[in-house]
């Protein structure tokens, strides 16, 4: 599975927002750098450039891809599936991406960054309905129960992540039990459950051409 391994702060600066790559730990000063340099990376970043309509739509798509850590080919698979589903295509693609298993682990607070959540899932540290699941793109469904494996190291890591994220709001489509280390999917996520400032209609206009 392909994944981005380059400088993540550059992606945040390019999109002008914290894409949650930085996690809860700000001791490295990366968040401060993002606030201090509120312009894209590169030698000519501060020069005036004319932004076309295509450029605006492209940036929205790039933001969404980077939030969930997917590349172009996989993103277009999600888009085609969103077109086939009933309802608004933009809301559908956000729902499909939000239902990814690695995103669920991150949203539930059992990992501090998407990269950590993806590694935990890839290495088989989580069970879905009692069965080991190592596919990050697995689409969770209402009624699914996700738990970490019974190994002490796994439970310790998950507990530490839950402690870091204590106090963060849990979306209504999930129920998280810190005592039993259990995530229950109550329903499908909605547009309101996606908190990033993304204009999905612009993405639909770009990808539909």
Whether 160 is covered by a domain: the verdict is yes
Q: What is the pLDDT of residues 46-90, one digit of tens each?
A: 666 777 889 889 989 988 998 898 999 999 999 999 999 998 999
The pLDDT-based confidence of 45 (bands split at 50, 70, 90) is low
Question: Do residues 83 and 205 make contact, with C-beta atoms less than 8 angstroms apart?
Answer: no
Q: pLDDT by residue (tens digit) across 175-206? A: 999 889 999 999 999 988 888 888 999 999 99
Query: In which domain, by residue range, is 48 found?
Result: 8-97
**CATH, residue 152:** 3.10.290.10
Q: Does position 162 have pLDDT exceeding 70, yes or no? A: yes
pTM as predicted: 0.83
d(C-alpha 149, C-alpha 124), whole Å = 8
Strand-pair category, 145-148 with 126-128: antiparallel
Helix (H) or strand (E) holding 128: strand 126-128
Answer yes or no: do 55 and 33 share one domain.
yes
90: CATH:
1.10.1050.10
Same-domain status, 123 and 72: no
């Amino acid at each position: 599975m392909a994944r981005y391994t380059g400088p993540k702060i550059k992606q945040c600066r390019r999109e002008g927002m914290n894409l949650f790559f930085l996690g809860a730990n700000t001791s490295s000063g990366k968040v401060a750098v993002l606030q201090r340099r509120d312009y894209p990376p590169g030698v000519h970043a501060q020069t005036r450039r004319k932004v076309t309509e295509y450029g605006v739509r492209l940036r929205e798509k790039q933001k969404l891809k980077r939030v969930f850590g997917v590349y172009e080919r996989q993103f277009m698979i999600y888009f085609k599936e969103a077109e086939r589903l009933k309802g608004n295509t933009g809301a559908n693609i956000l729902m499909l991406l939000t239902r990814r298993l690695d995103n669920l682990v991150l949203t539930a607070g059992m990992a501090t960054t998407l990269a950590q959540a993806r590694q935990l899932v890839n290495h088989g540290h989580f069970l879905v309905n009692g069965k080991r699941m190592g596919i990050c793109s697995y689409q969770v469904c209402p009624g699914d129960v996700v738990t970490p494996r019974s190994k002490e190291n796994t439970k310790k890591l998950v507990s530490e992540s839950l402690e870091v994220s204590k106090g963060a709001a849990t979306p209504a489509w999930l129920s998280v039990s810190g005592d039993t280390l259990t995530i229950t999917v109550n329903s499908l996520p909605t547009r309101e459950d996606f908190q990033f400032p993304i204009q999905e209609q612009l993405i639909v206009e770009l990808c539909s051409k």
